[in-house]
Amino acid sequence: MRKFELERELVNDYDKTNDTTVSGNRLAYRLGELSKVGLTNDNGSNRPGFSQEEKRAKELVMEWMREAGLSVRMDGAGNVFGRLEGKKDVPAILCGSHVDSVPNGGHFDGPLGVLSALEVVEAWKEEGYRPEKPFEVVIFSDEEGARFNGGLSGSEAMIGEVDMNQKLLLQDSKGMSFEEVLQDVGLTVEGYQAAKRNLNEVEMFIEVHIEQGKRLEKENLPCGIVTGIAGPCWLEVTFTGEAGHAGNTPMNDRKDALVAASEFIQKVNKLPEKINDSAVATIGKLQVEPNGVNVIPGSVSLYIDIRDIYKETRDQLVEDVIQLGRDIAMKQSMEIRFSEKMRVDPVPIEESTQALLEESFRACGIRPYKLPSGAGHDAMVVGKKLPIAMVFVQSKDGISHNPAEWSDLQDCVQTVNVLKRYVERLQD
């Protein structure tokens, strides 16, 4: 079996003549070196948040930051900031992502965003360019949440939106508490709480991330402009009918909860398109009681994940879903119960930000294409307090959180060029 070498795979079909001061070879090398930290038997990545593997990955990038001439610091949440001073003493532009992963995940989700920001600095270094505004390359801790089934811990700490009472109750799969996990990588609860940053020091945050979908691939584009980050609302819906014997209950005398739930599932699938093209609704979990082969289902509980990048339309879709359930339950003479499990506000991205990104895309010879982000990112958290921008990189076959996750080096380099041009436009 051939040894896994991400760098070699990346540069295999790369046209080196396209290299300018943004170096595809350097980007490939660094992605390759990071892939070796927490490499799994399936050639995937295993770097849970607040693990020794995440810590080693951060330390590796910190070394590259220093070599690029950045001053480097780590806050009490383990977030890393590599700072390039600007010509003016003004709020900084932050750019980056994360280096932790899901178990047996891919090698682009997170690291590409961090290394893209660092590659902008490397290109400036070669050009002898110094920005007017300070520029910071950021690595946020524990974005994926693999340790505690939560995530976004680093960005939440930076903006000061943390429920510490809830955090201190967390335990990982090995029974380690949140406090113990922090201590294992040299951090403390007190330091974590003190990681809140003075946000007056920051102008905005920019995140480059793989798309984790197929839209850009279908458009044959290397990257796209994110219009907003969807906020999820999770509902538990329970239909309650009457269980009965499958052989002795006539078809016209049944209250089959699964039949009602089936109609509901089918019709929910059609509701988002009536709202807008960025709204989605997914039913991915179902529990049937009594769940017997020869028993009419008496109760069905299902879970709906409803998302949109606009709060008003997301909330309208929630109401439409609830009304649909009530109508079906009434028609089929059964009870229905709703329980809201979560509701997170979406984060739309300012039109002026998107417009400036469009100019940067065109300047790099790339057709601007806009798309929503259905997944959560650190930018979603930071966007509660600061302006944000996001650029997606094409994902092959839309695969993510999987060793097969892939973005072509050519697409990555073109995205870095867009990012560089955009940050330079922000200096005006």
Which residues of the chain does CATH 3.30.70.360 include?
Answer: 231-343
* pLDDT at res. 20: 85
Give the 3-state secondary structure of residue 263: helix
Written as six digits, the tokens of 140 are 């946020």
pLDDT digits (tens, 9 = 90+) for 44-66: 999 999 999 999 999 999 999 99
Pick the CATH number of 6-230+346-425 from 3.40.630.10, 3.30.70.590, 3.20.20.140, 3.40.630.30: 3.40.630.10
CB 229 within 8 A of CB 220: no
CB 373 within 8 A of CB 189: no
209 marked as binding residue: yes
* pLDDT at res. 15: 87
Which residues of the chain does CATH 3.40.630.10 include?
Answer: 6-230+346-425
CB 389 within 8 A of CB 357: yes
Written as six digits, the tokens of 35 are 């892939």
pLDDT digits (tens, 9 = 90+) for 374-394: 888 999 999 999 999 999 999
Query: How far apart are alpha carbons 386 and 250 in whole angstroms?
Result: 61
Give the 3-state secondary structure of residue 243: coil
Q: 301 - beta bridge partners?
A: 238, 287
* pLDDT at res. 344: 85
Q: Which residue has the tokens 């009419």?
A: 296
Q: Name the nearest CA neighbour of 407 among 120, 209, 118, 144.
A: 209
13 marked as binding residue: no
107 marked as binding residue: no
**Domain made up of 231-343: CATH architecture:** 2-Layer Sandwich (3.30)
* pLDDT at res. 2: 54
* pLDDT at res. 1: 42
Question: Which residues of the chain fall below pLDDT 70?
Answer: 1-2, 18
Length of the chain (residues): 428
401 marked as binding residue: yes
Reported for 256-260, long-range contacts at CB under 8 A and 24+ positions apart, including other chains, are: 256/296, 256/297, 257/288, 257/297, 257/298, 257/299, 257/300, 257/334, 258/288, 258/297, 258/300, 259/332, 260/300, 260/328, 260/329, 260/332, 260/334
